[in-house]
Amino acid sequence: MDIFLQQIVNGLVQGSIYALVALGYTMVYGIMGLINFAHGEVVMIGTLVTITVAGTLIKAGMPVALAGLAGMMAAVLVCMALGWALERVAYRPLRHAPRLTPLITAIGMSIVLQNLAMMVWGRNYLTFPSFLPNMDFELAGAHFTAIQVIIVLVSAATMGALLLLVYRTKLGMAMRATAQNPAVASLMGVNINRVIAAAFVIGSALGAVAGVMVGAYYEIAHYQMGFMLGLKAFTAAVLGGIGNLAGAMLGGILLGIIEALGAGYIGDLTGGFLGSHYQDIFAFVVLIVVLMFKPSGLFGEKSGDRA
Amino acid sequence: MQARLSVIALSVAAVFALSACGQKEEPKPVAAAPDAKPETVVKLGHVAPMTGPQAHLGKDNENGAVLAVEELNAKGMEIGGAKVRFELINEDDGADPKQGAIVAQKLVDAKVNGVIGHLNSGTTIPASKLYFDAGIPQVSGSATNPKYTQQGFKTAFRVMANDVQQGLALGEFAAKQGVKTVAIVDDRTAYGQGLADEFKKAAEAAGIKVVATEYTNDKATDFKAILTKIKSTKAELIFFGGMDAQGGPLAKQAKQLGVKALFLGGDGVCTPEFMKLGGEAAEGNYCSLPGSPLEKLANGPAFKEKFNKRFNAEIQLYAPYVYDAVWVVAEAMKRADSVDPAKYLAEIGKTRYDGVTAQIAFDEFGDLKGGAISMYKYTGGKLEYVETLGGGAVATAGSEVKEAVAEVKDAAKAVAGAATAVGKEAVSDVKDAAKAAAEAGKDAVKAGAEAVKNAADATKAAVDKK
Amino acid sequence: MLAALLVALPFVAAMGGQAWVRILDFAILYVFLALGLNIVVGLAGLLDLGYIAFYAVGAYTWALLASPHFGLHWPIWAILPVGAGLACLAGVVLGSPTLKLRGDYLAIVTLGFGEIVRIFLNNLNAPINVTNGPQGITLIDPVSFGAFQFSGTTQILGFAISGPQKYYFLLVALAILVIIINLRLQHSRIGRAWQAIREDEIAAKAIGINTRNLKLLAFAMGASFGGVAGGIFSAMQGFVSPESFSLIESIMILAMVVLGGMGHIPGVILGAVLLTVLPEVLRYGVGPLQMALFGKMLADPESLRMLVFGLALVLVMRFKPAGLWPSPVRRRELQETGK
């Protein structure tokens, strides 16, 4: 029981990161019906850009915290541009193509971005500069650090801001309308192209923030870090009901907690038969069970069959 | 439909034909040496992951091989009546066994004279079959999984201790540190699992209790869940079977969680990369490397300097072993006076080469004889040598014998000196002195002989133990 | 004429080295896989991202039944049906929970299954050593018909035929069989039922098609081809390990199907061959190409290779969204909806 709280803390932090990335997937899917496989790579580029920019600024003498902030801003801007470019160049021409074509394009772009990152930043693992003092807290036997608290807070704040955007602004309304029915929305005067571009850009910005969080948390970055992270975040989005923002957030946090508890307790649960080497599939098993009872995910709407 | 299919088949065939032709004409970047003597080009294949999470180690290996090849070419060997020029063909296997098999076939097709590699045990083992079938000698500088030399392939060799020896040494070392409980983490790769299993055997044999066995994989970044579990078991030592890319963050996260345990790892984490990724968390922990430390062996420091100068980079891990591997092959060719694999293969088995990493000789399986394992402590961002275990006694015994012989020589000189110093003043005194000196000399010789005998016994014991 | 070409191909390829014959063999293996996935994705419209699991089942079945691991050495005509059967079973097991799921939920669940299979293969070495874990299983028996072994070189009528070349002919023979089965399936009632499900599942149910059974059948049949391919892969390589059956492989096979022309057998074959051969051609070619164009190496050939491959995927999809060789029906449909 003493480690239960610690595992929850671990899971909550990891889950917040998943939630941020999952939002990127779910926004794009909700509006376009497309699984943006390249999103994980956008997150990775966010992390790497932060390292480069912050590193250069620190060497030039800027105080660490300020350099970190500047790095994060640079990452957000670069990722937003990248997201916009992805949509414009790779996905827009395929708006009316068969459903699987943009998927393959996304996979292709994912490969391209990974290899570009490898060529630019090299093959080695890069260390993320640590911006925050190493503060440790202890509460009821659970150990946590300042960065963990910050991650949860920043994620919550960002998600809150997103919800505000989607439910309280005109752009948000336009996005919701496009998600429901693009044809009618355009008849109502919504500029579909702009809305879709906005979804990509905002999603990428969230991804950049997530990337910075990941970098600050684990303090390493590598050109291949985006793939697994993207995959898990996508799983989280599906768990919550893809296309649903609240679902993505909940799905992300749930997934993080499930993974942490799974890795920690799977041995005890199965009497030693399965151990933590099966931790990766624990999340998938939970997903499958959930989907068997709720085929559209936790918050997903039972929308009609799309061909 | 028939016509369409034919068109497709034709184009596919055309692609193959073109590629086949293109392959033959593949330009070899060569600077023709204006030499009167005939020149033989010796092609050495080198395989390591040049992409993926271990690409930094692959590059390191390549550097070691490049350095050796450049030195060999500068030295200018003559084999079979012709000057030889070594050429390195570097291939990427991405640490993936399937790719490893593909590039192995590519090298076999290119009729290389020898192969250095691969890096990972997981790719070396399947590729070894291909090289064996083609009769091409293969010397690995980094594959430590015992199975590599247990398949019965005469062409498989390695220039460092395997994981059986390494696990044993690590287990003994852990026991020496006085820990009673250990938690084992393995990364579920052929290397990590193999090493962890051997360590487990050795640790349990040494009386240490394994209180937790946790797993991760070679692409993971988050270990908090399993570390939390380990924390609850209050293990005194965490042993990690895996590579530096995971080991570093593992150590760091352990520290963040407040896990108060020593960290011990194998050669996969004994790298500068581990210290970089682990930061402060790496300090005061231990790891092992095959062979004896570079500083202790005669050629070590010189190699380090050469390497740093040539590549402007630190040695990551296996570069010295790969360097030795290339030289072993070259030396074997020289002794056989032939670059033909069929002819020089037998010579490799007879190697007695004083390398940068160890005095290299192979046993009947292709393993390094008397493979030593050295333990290191992470101190101040550098690896600090602690001690050598296992077959390492051979290397140090050798130096001890040398010292004993030197002492005997000095003693004899002293005797002679004493005799002349006394001179002709007191003949009887001289006689007495001579007698006493002779006795002393005898004792010295006896002592020296004993030292030699002890060293030889230690050697034998170490060899037997291996 | 086509037959003459097929017979001559391995010998043409061998001029560049046995590695090319091996690549040819792998291309045909991937043709099996692509055709199998084509049934699931192309015909029945079920987005399966975990298809590699069936390949793995087939490969490990052969490995376990014909290697020193358990000491069994069954012959090919016994193992292949067992492998195909087990793969079918796996297909049904994997397919059952997905029957109620639509589209992209199905994708993620099948992806999860693929990973589950791989992780089990990687870890089933304790308490009972079934799969030998990450070390994989080595020294697997090659295919043999009596005394005639498929590995190593043999002399026939004065010609030396190498191991990979022998496998090539075996694979072509099997491929012809597989293609015929696929063609018959596609034009049968079952095939049409699948296509009906793909186009509109509710309408299909409405006209009395048993969608549940047909979906399971699609999974099972698709899986069986994967199982057979896996067995031959095991025999050819002499070694299997879980690393060969990762998610990337599933994605690659899907790319082959879509790029070639979903649902159209010749297109799928083309896609499989192209996507297998292209990375290898790039492996050999990127270095010399850079030398020829720029006189020096601008970038590592290794990183450039996959970059060019990714770009190729993007470009083909951009300019030929229905695939390189789509079925004429598809092309008409797309032209009608307009771009």
Distance, in Å, from the CA atom of B430 to the CA atom of A227, rounded to the nearest integer, reads 87
Tally of domains within chain B: 3
C163-186 vs C18-37: helix crossing angle, rounded to 10: 20
* Angstroms from C207 CA to nearest CA on chain B: 33
Angle at B291 between CA B290 and CA B296, to 5 degrees: 140
pTM attached to this predicted model: 0.82
* Residue the block writes with tokens 């002779």: B438
If one counts the domains in chain A, the total is 1
Q: What angle do CA A291, A296, A302 make, to 5 degrees?
A: 145
Q: Which residue of C has its CA nearest to B152?
A: C139
pLDDT (tens digit, 0 to 9) for every residue of chain B, 466 residues total?
444 554 555 555 555 544 444 444 333 433 444 445 678 889 999 999 987 778 888 889 999 999 999 999 998 888 888 888 999 999 888 888 888 888 898 898 888 999 998 998 888 988 998 899 889 999 998 888 888 888 888 999 999 888 888 998 899 999 988 899 999 998 888 889 889 999 999 999 999 999 988 988 888 888 988 898 898 889 999 999 998 889 999 999 998 888 889 999 998 898 888 988 888 888 889 999 887 777 777 778 888 888 999 988 888 888 999 999 999 999 999 888 888 888 889 888 888 888 888 888 898 888 888 778 889 998 888 888 888 876 543 444 444 455 555 566 666 666 666 656 555 455 556 566 556 655 655 665 566 556 556 655 655 665 555 4
3-state secondary structure of B123: helix
Does B23 lie at the interface with A, CB-CB under 8 angstroms? Answer: no
Question: Of the candidates A111, A238, A306, which has its C-beta nearest C310's C-beta?
Answer: A111
Among the listed residues A123, A125, A225, the one whose alpha carbon sits nearest the alpha carbon of residue B59: A123
The whole-angstrom separation of Cα A239 and Cα C101 is 13
Residues of C in contact with A231 (CB under 8 A): 111, 247
Q: For residue B130, tell me if it sits in a domain.
A: yes
How far apart are alpha carbons B311 and A125 in whole angstroms? 19
Angle between helices C2-14 and C163-186 (to 10 degrees): 150
Asked if residue B166 is part of any domain, the answer here is yes
Q: Which residues of C6-25 are buried (b: 16+ CB within 10 A; e: fewer)?
A: beebbebbbebbbbbbbbbb
**Whether residue B126 sits in one domain with residue B213:** no
CA dist., res. B330 & res. B209, Å (int): 47
- What distance, in Å, lies between the first and last C-alpha atoms of chain B? 67
Q: What is the mean pLDDT of residues C179-196?
A: 91
How many CB atoms are located within 10 Å of the residue B16 CB?
A: 24
Residues of chain A neighbouring C105 (CB-CB closer than 8 A)? 238, 242, 291, 295-297
Cβ atoms within 10 Å of B441's Cβ, excluding its own: 19
Q: What's CA C13's distance to the chain center, in Å?
A: 21
DSSP per-residue letters across C268-314: HHHHHHHHHHHHHHHHHHHHHHHHHHHSS--S-HHHHHHHHHHHHHH
B154 in the same domain as B300:
yes
A10, A18, A278: which to substitute to probe chain B, counting the most B Cβ within 10 Å? A10
Residue B342 belongs to domain with CATH number:
3.40.50.2300
Domain that holds residue A55: 2-125+154-293
Please report, as a single letter, which amino acid is at residue A231. Answer: L
* Chain B, chain C: beta-carbon pairs less than 8 Å apart: 141
Q: B114 and B332 in contact (C-beta within 8 Å)? A: no
Q: Are A236 and A248 in contact (CB under 8 A)?
A: yes
Dihedral angle sign, alpha carbons of residues C146, C150, C155, C159: positive
How far is it, in rounded angstroms, from Cα C246 to Cα C56?
10
CA of B264 to nearest chain A CA: how many angstroms apart?
Answer: 20
Q: Assign residue A273 the CATH number of its domain.
A: 1.10.3470
Q: Which domain holds residue B181?
A: 162-290+372-391
Interhelix angle A146-168/A192-218, rounded to 10 degrees, is: 170
Nearest residue of chain C to residue B23 (CA atoms):
C16
CA distance C58 to C37: 15
Q: What are residue A158's DSSP bridge partners?
A: none
DSSP class per residue in B139-170: EESS---THHHHS--TTEEESS--HHHHHHHH
Residue B20 and residue C17: Cβ atoms within 8 Å?
A: yes
In a domain, B439, yes or no: no
Nearest residue in chain B measured CA to CA from C24:
B16
Residue B13 lies in a domain: no
B173 occurs within a structural domain: yes
- Report pLDDT digits (tens) over B156-182: 999 988 888 899 889 999 998 889 999
- Which 8-state DSSP code applies to residue C99? T
CA distances for C46 relative to C39, C102, C221, angstroms:
9, 8, 13
ipTM over 0.90: no
Decide if A231 is inside a domain: yes
Q: Which residues pair with B86 in a beta bridge?
A: B42
The conformation of residue C143, written as its DSSP 8-state character, comes to P
Residues B170 and B217 in one domain: yes
Asked if B277 has any chain A CB less than 8 Å from its own CB, the reply is: yes
Based on the fold, state whether residues B126 and B99 are members of the same structural domain.
yes
CA B206 to chain centre: 26
B104 and B139 fall within a common domain: yes
Q: Which residues on B lie below 8 Å from C306 (Cβ)? A: 51
The four Cα atoms B29, B32, B33, B38 give a dihedral, to 10 degrees, of 110
